[in-house]
A and B are shown apart, each in its own frame.
Chain A
Amino acid sequence: MAELDRRQDRSPVPSAFEYATAPESREIVRLEERYGLFVGGDWVEPRSGEFQPTISPATEERLAEVAYAGAEDVDLAVGAARDAFENGWSGLRANERAKYLFRIARILQERSREFAVLESLDGGKPIRESRDVDLPLAAAHFFYYAGWADKLEYAFPNRKPRPVGVAGQVIPWNFPLLMLSWKIAPALAAGNTVVLKPAETTPLTALLFCDVLRQAELPPGVVNIVTGDGRAGAELVKHPGVDKVAFTGSTEVGKAIQKAVAGSSKKLTLELGGKAANIIFDDAPLDGAVEGIVNGIYFNQGHVCCAGSRLFVQESIYEATIAKLKRRMTTLRVGDPLDKNTDIGAINSQQQLEKIKELVAIGEEEGAEIYQPPCRLPEKGWWFAPTVFTNVAQSYRIAQEEIFGPVLSVLTFRTPDEAIEKANNTPYGLSAGVWTEKGSRILSMAQRLRAGVIWANTYNRFDPTSPFGGYKESGFGREGGLHGLGPYLEFDE
């Protein structure tokens, strides 16, 4: 705290407004003491016999115990999914399949508050974001893909699309329910059945989702949820009964999964890490750009694979941009995820916090200049103040490696060519941002940036109709849109 207080003295503006707290009630969420695995439409005890607590990162409170699936549990879940695929789901009329998905979308909308609160409780993200981003998008994703279920032959004319079979899906902890919807909605729309493994630290909304499936009367075994850690994920992706593997997470694990499916006939999509460039030209409307920078890196505590974690500012507006950015950072509210005023919630886990601290320490050692606005971090839980590094060289590790936290590295450029050269100089290629008033420059930059999603004069926008996915080591395959269906289908050709 002493360290932060010292920085407060250097802050460019007086401490920003005080707010009264506006806590969202958690009454709406009812938690079980412990959760089994959801297999074949029923809750089952894990054969592994293992349970582990899931913890609220904001308070370190034990929320519940969840089962940790072992090899035998994964095998049973894949068997249930296979059974459901062979005996009913794949033969179901496509418009009936669609209606199940529409039901799921509607129930998510109806129970959105409950899910939003639970998401913030288990994962630490601000309620404002889980309420206004995660939940509406998750429901919209099911609604969008529901409509595709009985229109696949129009999406892929002359290709005779048919389902792949059983999809094994492994999702991350940064957008737990939204990533579940990105995975399950297209898989079911295409006629597959699913075994999904939620992230170790954020299993609760996936487990609550099983109750949505009950209400939607989805046939047993079409969706199976196996909680656990990396061991369960590894068992799932290598299981011979899985026909299609979809993974969102780190590039390191993605490579291991690609190796695990090598030589098989499994279809694979990977959505991996990023180190996105957010490029600000001197003609950009600066106030809007600063909002975009803040949204780009501090959205969801920076736990975002497409986060704009490398800021490139044209030299002529460098001082003005940094001054505005620092001023804006002083107004960010860090704290209780369930407080509706909160902009930055808790870091998802102690392990992630250690990783962020380690890289930030390396950044300081390398010679970058650190700035953190004055903010009081809660005593309990895992927190990290919004951070910006200036005087960063392209070779610094904080400019190269994905930090996956609220830490921004600022670099400068003079010409568009230099910006492109620096922005593309990374093994990643998930996303990028460009801020300029000049239309021809936007299109030229969008063309030359080697990344799967380009946000021009905006950042971190998502939509079920909009394909999302990376170039290079950020993975392959797209999720969302018509392009998100293909990986879940086989074709006659």
Chain B
Amino acid sequence: MSRLPVKKTYKLYIGGAFPRSESGRSYEVEGANVALASRKDLRDAVRAAREAFPKWASMTAYNRGQVLYRVAEIMEGRKAQFAELTGGKGEVDEAVDRWVWYAGWADKLAQVLGSSNPVAGPYFNFTIPEPTGVVGIVAPEEPPLVGFVSRVAPAIVGGNVAVVIASERHPLAAITLSEALATSDVPGGVVNVLTGRKRELCPVLAAHMDVNAVDLAGVGGEREELEQLAAENVKRIVRNGEGQSPWHAAAFLEMKTVWHPVGV
């Protein structure tokens, strides 16, 4: 006798929990009813991200690297599941390897991006990178998993927290990755994932006054209006980014310079 499989309900990922959209809406995609997030869901996600920011940002870089590495471990264990939702095993391997690559950057960014500055006077002066805060990410439409990982990992490795609008046509990989995040040691709220219509959500994300930076690489089309909305609180704007690079992480980091006199 054949067995009827138990199907998964794909929901949002906000503040470490998996709520349905407060709007009660969903849309059918990739054979599932996926939550159709509202602007209220997006605002809730930004609030959850902001609350998670101080703890994630103040973790030691070594600890953050370990937590992120653990995400890769859990992704590896779910490879078969991811393969079904993506371009296949090759994409999953690439995504896991990329996640590991970024995990290893956690305690190296400050040494590569920071500096000690030889000022012309009796002062000790150094520059260190710090996270900018809440980063709004529009994930690329595809590849579903590598696209998501390539934008989210560089944002959070430096201590930022993220609100991500998942691929509209291929959202299942992002939600499944959220389950990996939820069962690793990444604190709730560090990554928040919304599924739904980009046309509805992107302007709300770009205009949100408690978002510090936006990654618009996944927008695809016209971004003039989004960038104008983003200017209202002088957001840092990322327009594109291929592959993996510490400079993708640097785009979401602020350089802080500290002076102190030298004397006896």
Contacts and interface: CB of A to CB of B under 8 A. Distances in A.
Interface in B221-264: 222-228, 230-234, 236, 239, 242-243, 245, 247, 254-261
Contact of B231 (A258, A456, A457, A466): A258
A493 B257 CA distance: 27
Nearest to A267: B239
Contacts of A446: 256, 258
Contacts of B260: 442, 456-458
B1 interface: no
Given A255-B232, A458-B123, A476-B236, A468 B257 contact: yes
Contact of A482 (B115, B224, B225, B245): B115
B115 A483 contact: yes
Interface stretch (A64-72, A114-122, A384-392, A447-455): A447-455
Contact of B119 (A270, A451, A465): A465
B24 interface: no
A262 B117 contact: no
A430 to B, nearest CB: 11
Given A452-B257, A456-B259, A457-B260, A466 B125 contact: yes
A458 B239 contact: no
Given A453-B257, A456-B260, A478-B255, A465 B118 contact: yes
Contacts of B132: 471
Nearest to A463: B119
A427 interface: yes
Contact of A452 (B118, B121, B254): B254
A378 B17 CA distance: 66
Given A263-B224, A491-B247, A454 B256 contact: yes
B69 to A, nearest CB: 24
B60 to A, nearest CB: 12
Nearest to A156: B247
B6 interface: no
B142 to A, nearest CB: 21
Given A442-B260, A458-B260, A463 B125 contact: yes
Interface residues of B, number: 37
Given A254-B234, A473-B233, A473-B234, A466 B259 contact: yes
A461 interface: yes
Interface residues of A, number: 43
B127 A481 contact: yes
A259 interface: yes
Contacts of B239: 265
- Residue among A272, A454, A475 with max Cβ neighbours from chain B (10 Å): A454
Interface string B105-135: 0000000000101111101010100001000
- State the 8 A-B residue pairs at the shortest beta-carbon distance, nearest first: A263-B224, A262-B227, A258-B231, A463-B119, A262-B228, A465-B117, A456-B260, A454-B258
Interface of A: 140, 159, 251, 254-255, 258-259, 261-263, 265, 270, 272, 427, 442, 446, 451-458, 461, 463, 465-469, 471-476, 478, 481-483, 491, 493
26 contacts: A251-B234, A255-B232, A258-B231, A259-B228, A262-B228, A263-B225, A265-B239, A272-B234, A442-B260, A452-B256, A458-B260, A461-B119, A461-B123, A465-B119, A466-B125, A466-B127, A466-B257, A471-B132, A472-B233, A472-B234, A474-B234, A476-B234, A476-B236, A481-B117, A481-B127, A493-B245
Interface of B: 115, 117-121, 123, 125, 127, 132, 212, 222-228, 230-234, 236, 239, 242-243, 245, 247, 254-261
